[in-house]
Amino acid sequence: MSKHPPSMRDVARRAGVSLSTVSRVMRAVPGVAPAVRERVQEAADELSYVVSRNASGLVTGRTGRVAVVVPFLQPWFFGSVLAGISDGLQRAGLDMLVYQVGEMRGQRGWTSSLPLRRNSDAVITVAMDLSAEECGRLDDIGVPLVLTGQCVPGRAGVFIDDRQGAAKATRHLLNLGHTRVAYIGSEGGSWRSLSSRDRLEGFQGAMVEAGLAEWSVLSTPGRRGGELAMGELLSDHRPPTAVLAEFDDIAMGAHRTLRRSGISVPGAISLMGFDDHEAAAVLDLTTVDQSPRAIGAAAADLTVDILAGEAPPDRHVEMPTRLILRQSTSAPLRSEGPS
């Protein structure tokens, strides 16, 4: 028969101290003499004692776990943010519980179906674009709420300026000399966040600022949507000389259509994405990097600081975006003439 794992009581017996003293040492609570603290730690090491999260929770009221709510585990962006959150929580000694909402998001009262109450110390949402009602229902759980990909007054959040990022990308194409610039955006899908709207508005604003007509095509998210949208753009009697895609995934689909059509990139059409997908470098795709893993790590750090009382529960953290220049964009081959 296997032995029972050592308990806190076993450590107290070996160290010759009370159970409460062991508890204070294991929780790093001040007020224990250094010599006693060292004796307790030595006893714990000798017994290979590991603090039980459940037992510790009875004393501290904490579970040592943070719940992370995501729409889906795909596409790539969500997995990258989760990896960053995991990095940050592990550094703080916290566990991560992941809840994929999926199509449940469309159901009224979906928040109450998540087993979050008494199961986590905080909740992080990833690109959920929560309404005021949904935020309120998550507040009812009674733990801090941190949003990623969403900036809401009075609520903690980590986000980028999608509008500015898309405008920066558009100006890059305009500065190269392009005047016929099209935008491929996404529509549909319960996982969409406000970033889709903001990126389109950023493109439109930069085009208006340059005195040019905005030209956009909305399609289904993902590579298939990019393929179809690029096909639609190529059917125009004067196709664009440059295209900005809302996501790198969309840009990859657009690139496939151009390749199959025998149209050179960037010779005939410059192509640009947004996100810096891990495959973007393979296609030499110019893009806007928003470092989703860094966003996740920042959300974890903010959550830890809020739990420790070192940050207010409404702190906003805006992450930077960077233009990544590669070989898929260049100046147009010849003058485009009047737009």
Q: What is the CATH number of the domain that holds 24?
A: 1.10.260.40
What pLDDT is recorded for position 161? 97
pTM of the model: 0.78
- Give 51's pLDDT tier (boundaries 50, 70, 90): low
**Do 91 and 29 reside in the same domain of the chain?**
no
**Do 202 and 274 reside in the same domain of the chain?**
yes
**Do 184 and 229 reside in the same domain of the chain?**
yes
- Rounded CA separation 163/205 (Å): 9
- Give 160's pLDDT tier (boundaries 50, 70, 90): very high
- Rounded CA separation 15/188 (Å): 63
Q: Please give the single-letter amino acid code of residue 135.
A: C
206: buried, middle or exposed (CB in 10 Å: 19+, 13-18, 0-12)? buried
- Give 106's pLDDT tier (boundaries 50, 70, 90): low
* Average pLDDT score, the chain: 87
**Do 284 and 297 reside in the same domain of the chain?**
no
Residue 23 lies in a domain: yes
**Do 175 and 218 reside in the same domain of the chain?**
yes
Residue 280 lies in a domain: yes
Q: What is the CATH number of the domain that holds 75?
A: 3.40.50.2300
Residue 42: how many other CB atoms lie within 10 Å? 13
- Rounded CA separation 20/186 (Å): 58
The average pLDDT across 317-331 equals 97
**Do 154 and 169 reside in the same domain of the chain?**
no
- The residue with tokens 């192509």 is 271
Residue 333 lies in a domain: no
Which of the residue ranges 168-172, 193-197, 249-253 would you say has the lowest mean pLDDT?
193-197
What pLDDT is recorded for position 26? 72
How many structural domains does the chain have?
3
Give the CA dihedral 77, 79, 80, 84, nearest 10 degrees: 140
What pLDDT is recorded for position 12? 87
Residue 331 lies in a domain: no
What pLDDT is recorded for position 331? 97
**Do 240 and 258 reside in the same domain of the chain?**
yes
What pLDDT is recorded for position 238? 94
- Rounded CA separation 262/339 (Å): 25
What would the pLDDT profile of 18-45 be if each residue is shown by its tens digit? 877 877 777 666 778 889 989 988 988 8
Based on its alpha-carbon atoms, the radius of gyration of the chain, rounded to whole angstroms, reads: 26
Is 232 a residue whose pLDDT tops 80? yes
CB 270 within 8 A of CB 176: yes
**Do 100 and 243 reside in the same domain of the chain?**
no
Six-digit token string for 208: 């208006």
Q: Give me the DSSP letters along 99-162.
A: EE-GGGGGSTTGGGGS--TTT-SEEEEES----HHHHHHHHTT-S-EEEES---TTSEEEE--H
**Do 156 and 114 reside in the same domain of the chain?**
yes
**Do 199 and 264 reside in the same domain of the chain?**
yes
Residue 130 lies in a domain: yes
Residue 324 lies in a domain: no
**Do 97 and 240 reside in the same domain of the chain?**
no
What pLDDT is recorded for position 115? 74
* Host domain of residue 24: 8-60
Which of the residue ranges 31-40, 150-159, 318-327 would you say has the lowest mean pLDDT?
31-40
Residue 337 lies in a domain: no
Residue 325 lies in a domain: no
88-92, 193-197, 217-221, 254-258, range with greatest mean pLDDT? 254-258
The average pLDDT across 42-53 equals 74
What would the pLDDT profile of 55-64 be if each residue is shown by its tens digit? 544 444 567 8
Q: Shortest CA distance to 125 belongs to which of 147, 106, 98?
A: 147
Six-digit token string for 15: 């160290």
**Do 265 and 169 reside in the same domain of the chain?**
yes
Give the largest Cα separation in the chain, rounded: 89
- Give 190's pLDDT tier (boundaries 50, 70, 90): very low
What pLDDT is recorded for position 2? 44
